[in-house]
Structure 1
Amino acid sequence: MAQYRVYQMDERGHITGRIDLTCTDDDDARRQAAQLLDGTDLELWQEARRIALFTAKKDVGQSDR
C-alpha cells in the first residue's frame, strides 16, 4: 500500500485542503480521488510526483456579477 495526498484547490490554484489516501497503486488512487470531486479542482500527489489533476465542472451560466 502506498500513501497519496489529494489537494483541494481554489479558483486561483491555491491549496484549500488536503486529504490523505492509502491506495494499492496509482490507478486505485485516481479512482478514490475522483470520488472526492465536489466542485473544487483536485491534485493527486505521491510524494513529489503529481499523479493527476481533476478539474471540477463549473456551472456554464454562473456569473461573478
Structure 2
Amino acid sequence: MEEYRAYVIGPDGHIINRVDIRCSDENEARRLAKIAVDGHPVELWQTDRFIERFEPAH
C-alpha cells in the first residue's frame, strides 16, 4: 500500500485539514482526493512530491 496526503486548502491559502490516504496506486489516490473536494481546493501529495491540485466546482 502506498501512502498519500490530501490537504484541504482554506480561502486564505492555508491548510485547514489533512486526509491521510492509503491505497494501491496513484490513480486510486487521485480518485479519493477528488472526493475530499467539498467547496475547498485539495492538494494531493506523496511525502514531498506534489501530484495534483483539485478545484471545487463553482
**Fold shared, TM-score > 0.5 on shorter chain:** yes
For residues 27 and 45 of structure 1, the distance between their equivalents in structure 2, rounded to whole angstroms, comes to 13
Higher percent of residues as helix: 2
CA deviation profile, 1:7-44 (whole Å, cap 9, x unmatched): 00012211001010001111110001111111000000
For residues 36 and 49 of structure 2, the distance between their equivalents in structure 1, rounded to whole angstroms, comes to 20
TM-score, length-scaled by structure 1: 0.82
Structure 1's consecutive aligned runs of 4 or more residues displaced over 2 angstroms after TM superposition are none
Whether 1:27 and 2:43 are equivalent positions in the alignment is no
Q: Which fold has the larger relative contact order, with Cα–Cα distance below 8 Å and residues 6 or more apart in sequence?
A: 2
One-letter amino acid of the structure 2 residue matched with residue 35 of structure 1:
I
Greater C-alpha Rg? 1
**Matched residues, percent identical?**
41
CA-based RMSD of the aligned residues comes to: 0.9
For residues 12 and 42 of structure 2, the distance between their equivalents in structure 1, rounded to whole angstroms, comes to 12
TM-score, length-scaled by structure 2: 0.91
For residues 9 and 42 of structure 1, the distance between their equivalents in structure 2, rounded to whole angstroms, comes to 6
